[in-house]
Amino acid sequence: MNPFLPEKPESESEESLKQVVQEKVRDWLKHDFNFLVNALYRLDIPEAKFQAALALESEEAIVQRLTEEILRREQQKRESRAKYRHQNPRKDLPE
């Protein structure tokens, strides 16, 4: 389960999904930094990208950059899963 994404992301538009993620990132940045760090680690966001985002001048710029990294990484995961699902379909797993 991804703590950043709503239960049914396919029903959300890209912009509303981005807003949801931004709200969560903003809240955790202000109130639960350790949770944010751990969540980004679990999502496999490179530490260098996290550090680069934190080096930005404003909180809003940090939130926007982290949101972009999260959504980009999730898109990469979806593409990778789709690619390998079609290359090596398993009959015993539902699609």
Listed residue (38, 33, 77, 41) closest to 59, CA to CA:
33
Model confidence at 41, pLDDT cuts 50, 70, 90, reads very high
Element (H, E) at 5: none
CA distance 41 to 54: 15
Residue 84: what pLDDT? 82
Q: Which residues of 1-14 are buried (b: 16+ CB within 10 A; e: fewer)?
A: eeebbeeebeeeee
Residue 85: what pLDDT? 76
Output the average pLDDT for the chain: 86
Structure-block tokens of residue 73: 């990484």
The mean pLDDT of 69-82, rounded to a whole number, is 91
CA distance 6 to 74: 13
The predicted-structure confidence for 46-70, as pLDDT tens digits, reads as follows: 999 999 999 999 999 999 999 999 9
